[in-house]
A and B are shown apart, each in its own frame.
Chain A
Amino acid sequence: MIKAPSSSDMFRALAFFRIGIGSFALLQMSFFLPVLADFMGPEGWIQWELTQAMNPLWKIHLADLCDWFHVDDQAKMAVLYVFVGIYLLSALGLTLGRFTRCSALMLIFLHSVLLKMITPFIYGADIGLHIALFYLVFFPSNHCYALDKPQCGRTLFPSVDPKFALRVLQIHLCLLYYSAGSEKWMQVDWWNGNAIFYALTNPDFSWTDFTWMANFRALPVVLGVFTILLESLYTIAMWIPYVRVFFLVGICFMHLGIMLFLQLYLFGWIMIVLSFSAWGIYAWNDVKEWSAHKKKRYVLLEESAIVLRSVS
């Protein structure tokens, strides 16, 4: 029987989650910095008026804030820099665990504004970050590796139990991979290797010529089937002790592959952080249990050899 992880282990897992997500937010924004005006500026690729109009009224755009405070056109870039500064500070606060949940709350608000500003450019990593930030508002992620001191019960609002927090994250990931896996299961392109071939030869993702893969057809087929099985069985396999170790390693390798071969670095990172935070501590427990069991068997064998020797 495998022991469930202790509360302190769970707090550590949640701290890993916080640090992973906070540093992700910092890094993602730092990638934007050299092209801030092109990307998010009022006269960028897609101008503010347009991104403002593309979204429902309830979503706040930086242009709305400028309108409310009567900021003139020349000062809009300055407002953008202030916005980015607060964003980076909140991300730093979250990473270091200072005013953790306030930082998470602030960051999720700023991220909503950011998503509205870059609506046509959004992709999976942005959504992953938003979901993770939503969880960090409620999760007790500042009990370990954080600058926050215990506040004598003073909190913004009560956080949830660490076990419950990890369960929510685990179930979310199971739903996520079930969705991704089942969709792929029903598509022929994923079974005959075409999907892998398309992804690797798509000029938006490929960094070198992968058309040679057409001559080694078995390779994309194996990679495609591996992906389907990994994603569709994730939901079940992750609840089975020992088996989940292989699936966790497999899913990390899959996302590392996506990072390296499709150059989706941030997307790969956030998916690995999510999976590791949710299951890492459980998988590590399995490994510890397995090695202890192996050691015990070895000792038993040694003892029985001594007994046999003494009898003979």
Chain B
Amino acid sequence: MQLLLIAYLLRVFLAITALDTKIPDGFLLTTIDFISDLNKSQWAYGFFRKDINKRLSFQFGVHRVNGTVDTLTIERGFTFFAPNREYGLRFYNLGGSFLNDTLSQPMMTRSIGVFLLNKFRDAYQVDVAAYFESYPDITESCDMVGPRRQKVYDAVVSLY
């Protein structure tokens, strides 16, 4: 048991020093990946190490059968969908996953759209737009510079 825990700490050390990237592809790496995925020893601890001023925000346009369009954002979503802070907080990570995983972006958008269509029974179409936002630093904030916003993805999920 002691050896196992020592090996575990060694794996943590390899992960935080990025030495595990030096291990050549093959059986050894696959085995290490498999074990470290089970106990999360491959996790590189960051705590806001980078990109804190950037985020991905979502905007949903919910088209209803009576002709109105409700615009929901992640910020409004926190209070609109989330009964508690812990749940709302996780949207921040959803943005990160969305940005990093370009392959699943269309599927994730579709999934979110379908979820909203199920939630709003009188809606027939949902527009999902993802915006990449960066916020001003201290100096820019003194100069009254606002956040920069750029649309990175949009899609329409429709019932018909």
Most buried by B among A46, A160, A199, A204: A204
Q: A121-B93, A122-B93, A214-B141 are in contact. Are A131 and B40 (CB under 8 A)?
A: yes
B40, A121: Cβ atoms closer than 8 Å: no
A45, B9: Cβ atoms closer than 8 Å: no
Q: Closest approach, in angstroms, between the C-beta of B3 and any C-beta of chain A?
A: 10
B52, A39: Cβ atoms closer than 8 Å: no
B1, A158: Cβ atoms closer than 8 Å: yes
- One of A5-13, A78-86, A172-180, A298-306 at the interface: A172-180
- Set of chain A residues within 8 Å of B83, measured between Cβ atoms: 34-35
- Set of chain B residues within 8 Å of A287, measured between Cβ atoms: none
Question: CB-nearest residue of chain A relative to B118?
Answer: A43
- One of A64-72, A88-96, A240-248, A262-270 at the interface: A262-270
B50, A215: Cβ atoms closer than 8 Å: no
In the complex, which residues 1-51 of chain A have their Cβ closer than 8 Å to any Cβ of chain B?
Answer: 28, 31-32, 34-35, 38-39, 43-47, 50
In the complex, which residues 1-41 of chain B have their Cβ closer than 8 Å to any Cβ of chain A?
Answer: 1-2, 4-6, 8-9, 12-13, 16, 34, 37-41
A134, B142: Cβ atoms closer than 8 Å: no
- Set of chain B residues within 8 Å of A35, measured between Cβ atoms: 81-83, 87
A138, B4: Cβ atoms closer than 8 Å: yes
A50, B108: Cβ atoms closer than 8 Å: yes
Question: CB-nearest residue of chain B relative to A120?
Answer: B97
In the assembled complex, B160 has its CB within 8 A of some CB on chain A = no
Q: Number of contacting residues on A, CB 8 A?
A: 74
In the assembled complex, A280 has its CB within 8 A of some CB on chain B = no
Among A168, A204, A217, contact of B9 (Cβ-Cβ < 8 Å)? A168
Question: CB-nearest residue of chain B relative to A160?
Answer: B1
In the complex, which residues 59-100 of chain B have their Cβ closer than 8 Å to any Cβ of chain A?
Answer: 74-75, 81-87, 89-94, 97-98
Q: Closest approach, in angstroms, between the C-beta of A238 and any C-beta of chain B?
A: 16
Q: Closest approach, in angstroms, between the C-beta of B92 and any C-beta of chain A?
A: 4
A31, B84: Cβ atoms closer than 8 Å: yes
Q: A46-B108, A217-B138 are in contact. Are A157 and B1 (CB under 8 A)?
A: yes
In the complex, which residues 181-213 of chain A have their Cβ closer than 8 Å to any Cβ of chain B?
Answer: 183-184, 187, 189, 192-195, 197-199, 201-205, 211, 213
B141, A179: Cβ atoms closer than 8 Å: no
Sample of 4 more A-B contacts, CB < 8 Å, known A124-B45, A158-B1, A180-B45: A130-B39, A131-B40, A164-B2, A180-B47
A-B contact pairs, 25 of them (CB 8 A): A31-B87, A34-B83, A35-B81, A38-B115, A43-B115, A46-B108, A47-B114, A50-B104, A120-B98, A120-B108, A130-B39, A138-B5, A160-B2, A168-B8, A172-B12, A177-B45, A192-B138, A193-B138, A201-B135, A211-B141, A213-B138, A214-B142, A217-B138, A263-B89, A265-B86
